[in-house]
Structure 1
């Protein structure tokens, strides 16, 4: 009897690893299934795009509330006089207002310097003056096109035309009254930067456009601009464009493509 008990005990000890292995396989959770997330990623991208458009509208409403309805900006003094006989902002788009916190207008974006543009595309022409001239750079000429981009016609770099057309399409959806009053004061102009000797302006590359409301030009370097341009600035920024209101010498009718956007186009082989 003592030998039988010893034999059973030894058998129990010897079979323990096999029992543990069988239990682990039997009770283990099933392996995770592979889920195709490509469709989900597409839907998420579409939702993010819709959210960006909605955010643009919300930002526009914030400006309306702070400037149009209350008649005050962030400053303690009034920045906009309330329209006398209108219950909407449509009659105030051309009104000149103070630009609150203009130096942070382009936060998150970087200016494309003349040296960067020259390295990217080359000089538009060898000799630059303060007057608009024709481009002699073959690479640049191959990328320049003249097209109707919505409320205006512009001659610019081809990817810039695609980008600004999208900007104006968004404006037409969310600010249709403003869209109908947008005018241009020029786009391509092969010249040097005012006051420089040989640095080419972003206009010289077809990467900038001057915009105004109702054909009224903005006064340079006075720290003020048309209300419609403040509303437009947010649409341009979301598309990766720099607003001239943030320059040391304020130029709020000026919009140009940022360095980040140009690098994106280069990665995509568009320039």
Structure 2
């Protein structure tokens, strides 16, 4: 289980930014840009949570705080009973994180990349081989395991990135737009993999702009707008509060209603 409570993060504005009046955002005040002001949501065992919001809403900053790459100014992130804001090392062990900037070592093969990150997390011998073989099969990677990462296609790289993100058996998996730029077949493999994590009872948080994926996968939805939580609940409640059985329309209605909670 992961529980996010009242997260906030601000960034100091540069002198150049302050002078540029045309780029003013309502979250710019007191010499800071308040990227995330108050964000809360929970994702329990066996749940998939879709993290939604318009561009610039604060989703990326929120995810970077969950990954422990950024330290919140306020708030807590609990994984089971551990507050990973205060214990970031525990968070890095407990979370499998994939972002758009997740990279691979180009001169290593797909297999070597995944094995390397497994070893960094303390896996070795039979345990490492068994976990890698399981992931390679689930993500349909066997045809390109011996290819250098620098020669992999976009889809192959994304599968390898996902494998390296979860090779250490994390308690929570966080995926930032995992299907962006992928073809239909690779997207389906990623969706099937997320379902397998759910079946294992692993909480999964993933941000996406594709609400059809939310309909396929999600038990819960959290929406961030202007750095604030404006929804955290089930898909059914999302449609009810958004006033539509179509997720796209419910999302637009919810944002236009500005119903922050």
TM-score calculated relative to the size of structure 2: 0.23
Write 1 or 2 for the structure with the bigger share of helix.
1
Q: Which has the larger radius of gyration?
A: 1
Greater strand share, structure number: 2
Give the number of the structure with larger relative contact order, counting CA–CA contacts within 8 Å between residues 6 or more apart: 2
